[in-house]
């Protein structure tokens, strides 16, 4: 009986060790804290796309000392962001991938308040260094 338990434990550990070696090609959503969103005047009433590949780049982008929790040796934080001169009610987004190319669609629903409305959508993707592999389409309504 003890031998069977040890064998099951060994197989479980072996499976876990093998599965952790596999490359993770999944895409994960990433949420910024509202206070961490970049309020860059260059994107007022526009949008921009950014690849973040290091903790330093993350801290510069967010203007924060908070760590991202992302393993930048294997992953990239892909961000589409902007700021409206009106308030933002809701942001909906979708990402699709074809090989190493990404297509992101974002719809930003605005309101008529007189506050700056920063917004961002972000994804953790397999390591990516070429922004030309990303197409982002942003619509405002």
Average the pLDDT over 134-139 and give the result. Answer: 95
From CA 119, how far away is CA 47, in angstroms rounded?
9
- Could you tell me the two tokens for 15? 């499976």
From CA 14, how far away is CA 24, in angstroms rounded?
18
Domain residue ranges in the chain: 25-140
Single pTM value for the model: 0.76
Backbone φ and ψ of 32, nearest 5° = -85, 150
Return all residues near 124 (Cβ < 8 A) that are at least 6 apart.
27, 28, 29, 30, 70, 75, 76, 77, 78
pLDDT of residue 85: 79
Greater confidence (141 vs 19) lies with 141
Torsion of CA 133, 117, 139, 33, to 10 degrees: 40
pLDDT of residue 14: 42
Weakest mean pLDDT among 1-5, 88-92, 103-107, 130-134: 1-5
Average the pLDDT over 110-124 and give the result. Answer: 86
pLDDT of residue 53: 97
For residue range 7-61, list pLDDT tens digits in order: 444 444 444 444 444 578 899 999 876 666 655 556 666 788 999 999 999 988 8
Return all residues near 68 (Cβ < 8 A) that are at least 6 apart.
52, 55, 58, 77
């Amino acid at each position: 009986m003890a031998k069977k338990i040890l064998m099951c434990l060994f197989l479980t550990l072996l499976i876990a060790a093998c599965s952790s070696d596999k490359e993770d090609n999944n895409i994960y959503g990433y949420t910024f804290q509202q206070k961490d969103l970049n309020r860059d005047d260059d994107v007022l009433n526009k949008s921009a796309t950014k690849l973040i590949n290091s903790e330093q780049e993350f801290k510069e982008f967010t203007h924060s000392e908070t760590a991202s929790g992302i393993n930048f040796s294997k992953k990239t934080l892909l961000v589409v962001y902007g700021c409206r001169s009106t308030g933002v009610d809701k942001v909906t987004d979708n990402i699709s991938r074809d090989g190493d190319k990404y297509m992101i669609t974002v719809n930003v629903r605005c309101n008529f308040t007189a506050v700056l409305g920063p917004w961002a959508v972000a994804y953790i993707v397999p390591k990516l260094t070429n922004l030309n592999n990303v197409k982002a389409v942003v619509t405002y309504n």
